[in-house]
Amino acid sequence: MKSESTLADKKSDANAPLFPEVARKRPRSMLVLRPGAMGDVLLTTPALRALRLGFPESRIAALVTGSGEAILRGNRNVDETIVLDKSSLRSQLGIIWRVRRGRFELVIDFLCNPRTALISACSGAPYRLGYDVRVRRVAYNLKKPRDEYREGRKVVKYAAEVNVDMVRCLGINGAGTRLDFEVSERARSKIDEFLRSHSLETGKLVGISPAGSWPAKTWGVRKFAELADQIGGETGCAVVIVWGPGEEELAKEMVGAMKTERVMACRTDIDEVGALLERCAVFISNDSGLKHIAVAVGTPTATVFGPTNPVTWSPPDPRHRAVYADVDCLFCDRNECESMVCMKKLEASDVLPIVKELLGEKERGLA
C-alpha cells in the first residue's frame, strides 16, 4: 500500500511537482475519470495530451459519459473509453468491476464527486490522484488542493489550465491548453453539401446557438433572434442556427422569431456539428458545450455570460470574447434565478459590436 501524500508533506518550493515519484515509476496503464458534459470532457483534452507526452508507452483509458465518448472519438491520446452507465445500481457496479479488472496503475479523478471517488477507491490502483476535499479525500492517496491561493486570494484559472495543473503535480510538463477535437472528412463532406444546398459561403457564415444547459445562463431565444437580425442586416453575413439533441424546438422558435433571412442547421452528430462550426466565421452562444467545440476547431467565439465566470470557461485568447452585463450579482454560479437580471440587462446592441470586431479580424486574417 502506498503512503498518502498531501501538499502539507512537501517542503520544496511551490513550483516543484507534488508527486514526482509517480513519473519515476512510469505507470504502464492509467485511467482518467471525467464523466460529465461534453464541454467538461473537451477541457480535459490538454491534460490527456500532456499525459501522452509524459508517458508515451502507457495505456491511457478515459471513463466518460456518452457525449464524452463522442468527443474523444479519434483522439490519439486515448487508447480506450469506458462509458459510465448510471441507469441502474447494477450497471454502476459493473463499471467498478470493469475498472478493477483493468489493473490500472494510476487513476486520476478530475471530477471528484461521490461516484468517481468510489470508483477511484475501488479501482485497486496503487496511485490514485484526486482533490483534497472533505470526505472524498479518503479515496485518494495522492491529494491535490482543489484551490490555489496567492496573497490570501483564490486564483481563478481557465478550466483547461486547472486540469493540466493536475497532471503537472505528477512531474509531467503541460503541453498548452489547446483543446483537441478531431473532425472527420465524412463530417466535412456532409456539412459542405448542406452549405452548398443553401448557397452559404464559409467566410460569410455566423453560427448561433440559443441553447444552454442551465436556465440561469440562457440569454433567451428572442434576444438571440434580435442579434441575428442585426447581423444579417449590418454585416452581410448569413446566420445559421445550430442545434443539438433536444434543442430542435428551440431552434425552430428562433427561426420563427427572426425577420431576416436565416437557415436552420441540419440534424448533426457531434462530429458533424464540429465540421459546421469549423466553417463559421464566428460562433455566438451562451456558455455551453458547443462553444467549447468552436474553440477546439479554431472558430472565434462571442459568448454570453451571466452566472458563470469567463475566466474559468473561456480561453485567454482575444479571438474568444466574453459578453456580459454590468450587474452586482454577476458570476454568482447559480443554476436558477428568479430575476435573471444579468441576462435581461444585456441587449443585442451590446453584443453586435463585438461580433463585428471578430468578423473584421477574421477578414484581416487576425482571428
**Which pLDDT score is estimated for 308?**
93
C-alpha grid cell, residue 224: 438571440
Distance, in Å, from the CA atom of 207 to the CA atom of 243, rounded to the nearest integer, reads 10
pLDDT of res. 367: 60
What's the gap between Cα 103 and its chain centre? Answer: 29
**What pLDDT sits at residue 11?**
39
Closest Cα partner for 19 from 140, 168, 123? 168
Alpha-carbon distance 313 to 157, whole Å? Answer: 9
- What CATH number labels 7-168? 3.40.50.2000
d(CA 342, CA 308): 11
Structural contact between residues 83 and 188, judged by C-beta atoms closer than 8 angstroms: no
Every domain of the chain with CATH number 3.40.50.2000 lies at 7-168, 185-363
Select the CATH number that applies to the domain covering 185-363 from these four: 3.65.10.10, 2.70.98.60, 3.40.50.2000, 3.90.950.10: 3.40.50.2000
Task: Calculate the CA dihedral of residues 144, 145, 147, 152 and round it to 10 degrees.
Answer: -140
Q: Rounded distance, CA 269 to CA 267, Å?
A: 7
Q: What is the pLDDT of residue 16?
A: 65
Q: What is the pLDDT of residue 34?
A: 97
Residue whose C-alpha cell reads 452507465 in the numeric block: 85
Q: What is the pLDDT of residue 15?
A: 54
Give pLDDT tens digits for 132-175.
Answer: 999 999 999 999 999 888 888 889 999 999 999 999 999 988 78
User: CA end-to-end span of the chain, whole Å?
Assistant: 51
d(CA 224, CA 229): 9
3-state SS of the chain is CCCCECHHHCCCCCCCCCCHHHHHHCCCEEEEECCCCHHHHHCCHHHHHHHHHHCCCCEEEEEECHHHHHHHCCCCCCCEEEECCCCCHHHHHHHHHHHHHCCCCEEEECCCCHHHHHHHHHCCCCEEEEECCCCHHHHCCEEECCCCEECCEECCCCHHHHHHHHHHCCCCCCCCCCCCCCCCHHHHHHHHHHHHHCCCCHHHEEEEECCCCCHHHCCCHHHHHHHHHHHHHHHCCEEEECCCCCCHHHHHHHHHHCCCCCEECCCCCHHHHHHHHHHCCEEEEECCHHHHHHHHCCCCEEEECCCCCHHHHCCCCCCEEEECCCCCCCCCCCCCCCCCHHHHCCCHHHHHHHHHHHHHHHHCCCC
Spans of the chain below 50 pLDDT: 1-14
Q: Any idea of the CA torsion for 184, 33, 39, 49, to the nearest 10 degrees? A: -50
- Give the angle subtended at the CA of 314 by the CAs of 212 and 202, to the nearest 5°: 75
Among candidates 280, 77, 64, which has minimal Cα distance to 164? Answer: 77
Q: How far apart are CA 218 and CA 224, in angstroms?
A: 10
What is d(CA 77, CA 316) in angstroms, rounded to the nearest whole number?
Answer: 24
